[in-house]
Structure 1
């Protein structure tokens, strides 16, 4: 099997390629210099030349607030490029793993969203990812749509790294406490994606680490795990307005994983501890206070 992984330089693409290495599966981890995602023809030609059996599409426009002002660029990458990838996969008979997001849902209520619940993105980014989902569903039969949230990994910027950086200059932080969801550790997600792409269990999945929390609770656990004394005070989203509106409820049901026989990811507390250890191993943790 030969796999093309887009977004190798990002958090998820990097860990997917590490997992493919472990499994001794042939792959190519594509970066920006290989093709420009805003150039649909270049995207298609690269895939045709490489002739993969599957594409794991980890690259995306993910600047949620900037997307409100860069609508065209966001949609070129998250919609037009996805169409080019899906059409090319269809023409060569390749499978496609498309990474989506909790932002496709409206984020109301307190129930766990099922895969086919009503979609109503609150921002440009969420709409672009939903449009990408619809393209994949329309053009392909051999696809995996995997919705994730609150992503963190060793190879990139994320909420955990932001909190650790802030701890260098702040002993007290105020963090949003009414947005509820589940963190996703890319080192845990990558094995699941690789198992999916080696199967024919096509469909839509939710794949985050187990358990839920607020951003404030997540921050408290980050500092605790890192041995840092930083006081976290919760505040409502209304007190911290952002350019793009965020969903308050990002709980997502894992019933589709169960139905297909895929294992759930470990609890997010466990994932956080392992990630902190990983950061420590590369010298990326601030000094304990």
Structure 2
């Protein structure tokens, strides 16, 4: 299960529920209704045993943006776009209270999260030294790192322990902006309306999983979709300099308040 996939599934469900005029099921590839804690509080997603006005298919092995996926062959993408199906997260009062307590006294801050889930594609990793460099460059913006106990701490960032993804999202919702790899938290940022600089590299094209209001930094050319360590992806990440990411972040902070379409930008880097 990927947090980002579940947020995108919620976006699919919202569009279908609007079309159907009622809550819908999210079903797996066998057609069985499924549930994620990330959908709690979203009234357009029907619980598995509840009546539903329709359904959308999204689950392991049945994601709308993928024609196929294997670790050997990588990903083959469809023309489905996350930006056309924006998801949502309904934070509850306890989660908002947690975030308020966790960030008390911080003032304004930005989220910087270098760590990926253990099962994530290694080609999504920008490189630890680059994250450390970035955190040093933006010290005046109060960089904050999220994650559960045991998360590798990022030098130069304030560490806030967030025991669950929903609690991390609650803290993220209070941030001025974020710098994130393509993944669950960048989908959460879009769902919560948080400006972000998203490091895509060469694996996935921002036309597939990018959002308006974010600055998406990716390699020129076609995304390779590889899951095995890839020289193309390594070169793409190496071409994304911390100074470039810093400029993108400071620019995003300056443009807050503009229309979403004016803030959205895909930046292409030649490896």
| TM-score normalised to structure 1 length | 0.29
Greater per-residue helix proportion: 1
